[in-house]
């Protein structure tokens, strides 16, 4: 299984309920799950979220097609 990772940083001024609410929003609306948390002496936190990458079905890489209406 392959995952996509997103690092976040919460400064020492962010309290625990606020950090939990922000993480819950990422989980609920974007499909992220909490993977790892580091808490530092100054009270800041380094958080990594992850979510599964979609499978490509046949096992072969699918070609990415650009939007023909997009300007170059």
Does 29 map to a domain?
yes
Query: Is position 63 within any domain?
Result: no
Kindly report, residue by residue over 9-31, the tens digit of the pLDDT.
999 999 999 999 999 999 999 99
Beta bridge partners of 5: 50
In this structure, is residue 25 part of a structural domain? yes
Q: Over range 28-49, report the average pLDDT.
A: 95
In DSSP terms, which residues pair with 10 in a beta bridge? Answer: 45
CA 38 to chain centre: 16
**For the whole prediction, is pTM greater than 0.75?**
no
36 located within any domain: yes
- Evaluate whether residue 10 is within a structural domain: yes
Locate 19 and state its tokens.
Answer: 């950090």
**By the 8 A CB rule, do 7 and 58 touch?**
no
Query: Which residues span the domain enclosing 22?
Result: 3-52
Instruction: Quote the number of domains for the chain.
Output: 1
């Amino acid at each position: 299984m392959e995952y996509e990772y997103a690092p976040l940083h919460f400064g020492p001024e962010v309290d625990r309920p606020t950090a939990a609410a922000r993480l819950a929003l990422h989980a609920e609306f974007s499909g992220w799950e909490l993977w790892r948390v580091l808490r530092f002496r100054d009270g800041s936190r380094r958080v990594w979220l992850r979510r599964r990458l979609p499978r490509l079905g046949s096992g072969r890489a699918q070609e990415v097609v650009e939007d023909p209406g997009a300007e170059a």
